[in-house]
Amino acid sequence: MLHPICGQLEHLMSHDLVGGVVETIGTTVAVGGFPAPVGSVVEIQRQSGKPLAGEVVGFRGELTLVFPLEPLNGVRQGSAVRLKRTVRSVPVGDTLLGRIVDAHGNCIDGLPQPASAAKSPLDQDPPTSTSRPRIQEAFSTGVRAIDGMLTCGDGQRIGIFAGSGVGKSVTLGMMAKYASSDVNVIALIGERGREVNDFIERDLGPEGMARSVVIVATSDQPAIMRVQAAMAATSIAEYFRESGRRVLFLMDSVTRFAMAQREIGLAAGEPPTTKGYTPSVFAMLPKLVERTGRSAKGSITAFYTVLVEGDDTNEPVSDTVRGLLDGHVILSRAIAAKGHYPAIDILGSISRLMNDLVTPEIRAAAQAIRELMSVYRENEDLITIGAYRQGTNAQIDQAIRMRTEIDAFLQQAIEEKSSVQEAQQQLVQLVAKCGTRPTPNPAALAKVKRQAQQAGA
């Protein structure tokens, strides 16, 4: 909630501080005689119609730069600019559950606005590193492949890296419906307008929506709205965490958040760096993700989707986010093309906390399945062209024999509910079917590869 002194400061300054529009620079308004602090909410008078809202994003000489929240139609040189608030805040409370809100916390689902006396600042400091309890309890996402092979902890932060159209929205919907959370906070940043209702009605469903708050800023809205929506969603999640609840935070996507901040930074005069991203992007990403996680009262288990350009998981935003989070889940287009959903590339994914959360038996079982999957992938070309002869290598034989059952374990229908306990039980049963793991024979394997090379020649 806002501190009383902050409220008094807003009241005093909002009546006195008025400036005038000097010029427009692209989508930015330069205002003279207006020394408002960065982050302040302002109101720009228009020639006709209601005033236009904006936010102070920086300074250029003696001019204050304002990024508008709406198109600049009706704004002229000399238009009055008035300070409204110096602290950005969002309404919070249990009345938001089951509702769809915008970046300002206003409900946009056509239902009456809920009464909410509490407000939370958009910009908050994360819990200090020494006050964060250790993550020692597994969190059930409801997705069997993640719960069994990439077990996550209560309060862990994970990235979901995927190109377009490989099933990340469906995977998020499954988590929202089946996860072991008390509350879901879902931020849809930069989505196409059509996809919002698709996600809510098809992927989330009434069961997931009943315990969720959905924050929306579509791609057609100004960049400042998309950035604020991500911060507002984080503030709402923090409120539920500090009330002692287990929160599942889903943000789709952190890439569009970064793109929006790049747009604001370039408009404010920041120099572009890697692939045009400005320094403020890489400064804001850690501040955003560090606000989630565990605190002394509750937890926020966070999943951030990252759109990878051309399926390149090493582009700047992907590389930065991967280093900030506690693990990553890769969704593969090649796996999705085979009709395998969720299309998780287990060998390319990792949960950094899994070893601390599971028993030695589960750890050994997951490692055994990974080894079989790795052996099959390394020799897939030989197997596919028929160059491998059954019986040459016992481990390859085992990988071939178990491949169908491993794929069946990793696949999951949208309506199929699961839990971390069920996933781990099925994982142990799957490994039991494998029997003892034979020692690979490197000499026999080298012989097979030589034969394949000769056949190709």
With 90 as the cut, is the pLDDT of residue 226 above it?
Answer: yes
Per CATH, domain 90-357 is 3.40.50.12240: yes
Mean pLDDT of 97-108: 91
Q: Look at residue 117 in the predicted model and tell me its pLDDT.
A: 64
Lowest mean pLDDT among 31-40, 191-200, 209-218, 356-365: 191-200
Question: Looking at the whole model, is its pTM more than 0.75?
Answer: yes
Per-residue pLDDT band for 405 (boundaries 50, 70, 90) equals very high
Mean pLDDT of 254-263: 93
Find, among 232, 237, 229, the residue nearest to 191 by Cα. 229
For the segment 429-445, what is each residue's pLDDT rounded down to a tens digit? 999 887 744 444 455 45
Mean pLDDT of 40-66: 90
Q: Where are the domains of the chain?
A: 12-86, 90-357, 362-435
Q: SS3 sequence, 261-292? A: HHHHHHHCCCCCCHHHCCHHHHHHHHHHHHCC
Which percentage of the chain shows pLDDT scores above 90?
Answer: 58
Q: Look at residue 354 in the predicted model and tell me its pLDDT.
A: 95
Q: Look at residue 450 in the predicted model and tell me its pLDDT.
A: 61
Per-residue pLDDT band for 1 (boundaries 50, 70, 90) equals very low
90-357 has the same fold as 12-86:
no
With 60 as the cut, is the pLDDT of residue 8 above it?
Answer: no
Q: CA–CA separation, 302 vs 326, rounded Å? A: 10
Q: Considering the domain 12-86, what is its CATH architecture?
A: Beta Barrel (2.40)
Strands (E), 192-256: 212-218, 246-252
Asked if 399 contacts 373 with a C-beta cutoff of 8 angstroms, the reply is: yes
If one compares 48 and 277, the residue with the highest pLDDT of the two is 277
Q: Look at residue 3 in the predicted model and tell me its pLDDT.
A: 43
Average pLDDT, the chain: 87
Q: CA–CA separation, 88 vs 415, rounded Å? A: 40
Mean pLDDT of 155-168: 90
Per CATH, domain 362-435 is 1.20.1270.330: yes
Q: Look at residue 449 in the predicted model and tell me its pLDDT.
A: 53
Q: CA–CA separation, 376 vs 371, rounded Å? A: 9
For the segment 374-393, what is each residue's pLDDT rounded down to a tens digit? 999 999 888 888 888 888 88
If one compares 436 and 324, the residue with the highest pLDDT of the two is 324
Find, among 322, 336, 409, 328, the residue nearest to 373 by Cα. 409
CA-derived radius of gyration, the chain:
26
